[in-house]
Structures are given as C-alpha cells and as structure tokens.
Amino acid sequence: MIVAKQKPLEAIREMIEGYERILILGCGTCTAICLAGGDKEVAVLASSLRIADKVSGKNRSIKEHTLERQCEWEFLDELDEQVKEVDAILSLGCGVGVQAVSEKLPEMPVLPGLDTQFMGMPQEEGIWVERCSGCGNCILDKTAGICPITRCAKSLLNGPCGGSVEGKCEIDPDTSCAWQLICDRLTALDQLEKLEEIVPPKDWSTSLSGGPRKINLEASND
C-alpha cells in the first residue's frame, strides 16, 4: 500500500490562502488505511480549518467528501456534482490521486494535503514501514523475500557492508541490517548457497531513473 502523512496544519492553511470555497477530498483506500486521508481524517481536518478560520476572522466554505479511490477514472465521475460550487480541492489522496484529480478537472486547482512517503505495510498499530521501491526488476527470489534495494541503506546487492553491528544497520541502531535478515532467512530455508551467485550492477532503467513508467497489457500480450 502507499503510505502518506498529513502536512502540518499551518502549511495547509498557507496553501489554501486565497480560496474561499474548498472541497476536502478524501480517499477510501491507501491513505484511509494509513490514517491520513479517509472519512475521519477529512472530518478532523475540516473541523480544524473551520476553527482556525473562526479565530482569524475568515468565513470560508469548507465541504467534505471521500471517494473510494482517487487514482481511478471510474471513481472520479462523482466529482462532477461536488465541484460545482468550490474554488479549489484539497486532496487527502496520495500523489497519484492528486494528479489523477488534476487531470480529470483541468480547470480546478487541486492541492496536496498529504506528503506521500513510500510503499509499505503496517508493522504494528500506528506504525508503517517501507518495503518496496518499485525498481521494476524484482530479485526477491534471490534474497529470501527481503528487499535489499529498499531495506539496505546502501541498496547493496551482494552482501552486507562492514558497518553493521550485532545485526543492526550503522545508520540507526533500531534498524535491522537487511543483509543479516537475508542471511538468517536463507540459512533457515537451507538456501544460503544462493549468495554464491554474483548479482550484476543494478539496471536502474527499469526504475524511475528510466523516466515515468507505463504498462501496456495489450502490447505485452502481442
């Protein structure tokens, strides 16, 4: 899932300055799950902005609405009615959602209320951790299902550096060394010999380094 967090309230207030009729638009999928952009977060942010406006003597109209998803066209059609009486949309979707809504409504300012962080998973209640960088060339079969691109601070492909201490990364004593985790899991699976294969330098052209990516199912099936 995509993990995001809400921008500071003052940054949002500065962003919406000059707009008098605002729609706060939530997303019912990823950002709702990570407690950044669902119904509840939309309501809390709207209330906070109304209180701040009252204190500062403003009288803006702030509407609330949540789509099931902001990143797919079929769910954006219901915005046609929602935007008739607003000057701007404050999106609590991820960066993909903000861009999709902007493309759907080219004459409407669409502002990001969140900072998109990473693709990850919940580690425990209220804590999400990064697990995938979307590099476009997965090697998890060689590394026991643990991604060294994302989970190693140096994205090393052929074993650890010399900086880990007692299984912890040198960048943070609370962060496990990815290669220690890989070695431990390969040992448990009796597959440690996989590390004898030298992985060549990473081809970053399949990642964002090769430009914006696109998948065309029709072309790939030809």
Give the tens place of pLDDT for each residue, 39-88: 999 999 999 999 999 999 999 999 999 999 999 999 999 999 899 999 99
Q: Is residue 151 part of a domain?
A: yes
Given 118, 143, 160, the domain boundary residue is 118
Q: Is residue 220 part of a domain?
A: no
**Domain range enclosing 67:** 2-118
Same domain for 99 and 17? yes
pLDDT tens track for 96-155: 999 999 999 999 999 999 999 999 999 888 899 999 999 999 999 999 999 999 999 999
Same domain for 150 and 193? yes
Is residue 157 helix, strand or coil? coil
Q: Is residue 219 part of a domain?
A: no
Q: Is residue 217 part of a domain?
A: no
Return the closest-CA partner of residue 52 out of 102, 13, 19, 109: 13
Given 68, 94, 118, the domain boundary residue is 118
Lay out the sheet containing 88-91: strands in order across. Answer: 61-67, 21-27, 88-91, 110-112
Residue 55 CB burial class (10 angstroms; 0-12, 13-18, ≥19) = exposed
pLDDT band at 1 (very low <50, low <70, confident <90, very high): very high
Q: Is residue 216 part of a domain?
A: no
State the pTM of this model. 0.88
Residue 221: pLDDT over 70: no
